[in-house]
Amino acid sequence: MPGLDTTELARQLGAYPGAARIWVAFSGGMDSSVLLAALHDVKDALPGVLRAVHVDHGLHPESRRWAEHCAAFCDARSIPLTVERIRVVPAAGDSLEAVAREARYGVFKGLLGRRELLLTAHHQDDQAETLLLALLRGSGVRGLAAMPVSAPLGRGRLVRPLLGRPRTEIARFAAERGLAWIEDPSNAQTDLDRNFLRHRVLPMLQDRWPAVSATLSRSARHCAEAAGLVAGLAHDVLPQVLGECKASLSIGMLIQLDRPLQKAVLRAWLELYGFPLPDARHLERILAEVLPARPDASPLVAWKGCQIRRYRDHLLCMVPLPEPPAERLRIPWSIAATPAILELPGQLGSLEWRPDHSHPATARRQPEALEVRFAQPGQRCRARPEGHTRALKDHFQAAGVPNWLRPYAPMVFCGDRLVAVAGVCACATEWVDALPGTLLWQGRAPEPLDGFFQREIRVSLPGSR
């Protein structure tokens, strides 16, 4: 069997001619040591400057010594090395391995600049393990595609140049060069799923089918092609079902699609707005609970980093909403000062009162002190002098504000009288000394608050001489 072809490695990376830097994710293990040494052999043929990055998770007593080994390896070859130390603290129920990986790739994302590459040493046997893990999880074609050769990462790109090469080739290169590497004892722990496949399952499969890793990798490529076709179809259909609101889908249009296409369109939609994709269980819940819900219902399907909600005919994706302010919260607001700005709690931004200086009353009178409250049940408001007094929920409905966003709306009171609901409506006043102006609600987050509330409304406040 031919050995690792370093010239072919340089040719692969030649597909990225604009690369300014080429970073190697260097753990110090055999695979990444081989990749870094092989690239050093052809460094003059690479499109960018070769560098290495080592992430010290601090999970093993020897981790600092491992970082020193990596530094010595790079010093011997005059390869610049960046060492990043992180602290990994998994939450209850989280996999330490998964949390460490997420933290590691967070470092990589922050490190990469525009037109920079991060190379990892994943190889054909790793790909076979990834496919088997996906099969055991019951993944669809997207998951069975396993690891792509190349993918966006932060401002740069992730590349796996060894993905088509077997572990035996990499081990032979390491032996021929006399490379020294780190043996992480956790790689031998067969209570971890990937290690169990690597040490127990794949050797048995290879005894019976010697080319099993290559064959499984080929299946992953077929699944990647199928997943690409499905994604392409979904992206073609997506514009036809996008809703009028930002980050929304038209439920009426979506339910006309076949169920498999509905799932594909939902994934394409979430990707469009940069949200983490749901697993099969959450995807089924969206189709079974949210789509058929009554237009006035408030169904919610949530997973880490994303919430799916419904309002009228719109399906909405959003970052998780913070806890709404407490009903008992009272915030005094003196608007005599200029500028009259009140910082709101949480991520709700600020309120600003801008008086109408063209009105003669503004120069003669001072506005009375106000108070901001939230989610006051039973309130009523008359939006026009000639109109009827209506329940506040009617004004929210007329403004198109979903009931699950209403607790976040700042309500401005003068004494016990409701003056305005920021972003929704002003209450018509009968004050003789009324002072006209504009109430602005700015800097609000997350996204849904900007999508459903007005930025400014005209208000008349009571004034005193």
The answer to whether 204 is annotated as binding is no
CA distances to 13, 107, 334 from 115, in Å: 13, 17, 52
Tokens of 460: 């008349």
What is the spatial distance between Cα 18 and Cα 295, in angstroms, rounded to a whole number? 51
CB atoms within 10 A of CB 1: 6
What Rg value do the Cα atoms of the chain yield, rounded?
30
Q: Consult the annotation and say whether 32 binds a ligand.
A: yes
Q: Is 58 annotated as a binding residue?
A: no
What's the one-letter identity of residue 86? I
**Among candidate residues 210, 182, 196, 226, the one with its CA nearest the CA of residue 124:** 210
d(CA 36, CA 73): 10
27 is in an annotated binding site: yes
How deeply is 378 buried, as exposed, middle or buried, from its count of CB atoms within 10 A (0-12, 13-18, 19+)? exposed
Helices (H) and strands (E) in the chain, counts: 16, 23
In the block, residue with structure tokens 């077997």: 166
* DSSP label of 408: G
Q: Residue 248 — φ and ψ, nearest 5°?
A: -130, 160
Q: Residue 176: what residue type?
A: E
Rounded distance, CA 336 to CA 353, Å? 10
Q: What are phi and psi of 410, to 5 degrees?
A: -70, 130
Q: Which helix (H) or strand (E) holds 282?
A: helix 280-285
313 assigned ligand-binding residue: no
**Which long-range contacts (C-beta less than 8 Å, at least 24 apart) are formed by 232-240?**
233/261, 233/264, 234/261, 234/264, 234/265, 234/267, 234/268, 235/268, 237/261, 237/265, 238/265, 238/268, 238/269, 238/272
| 305 marked ligand binding residue | no
DSSP code of residue 460? E
As a whole number of angstroms, the distance between CA 172 and CA 181 comes to 14
* DSSP 8-state code for residue 394: H
Question: Quick one: tokens of 213?
Answer: 């890793």
Torsion over CA: 255, 261, 267, 270 (sign) = negative
* Closest to 3 in 3D by CA, of 170, 187, 190: 170
Task: Report the C-alpha gap between 33 and 23 in whole angstroms.
Answer: 13
Tokens of 243: 């809703």
Q: Which residues are annotated as a binding site for ATP?
A: 27-32
Q: Which residues are annotated as a binding site?
A: 27-32
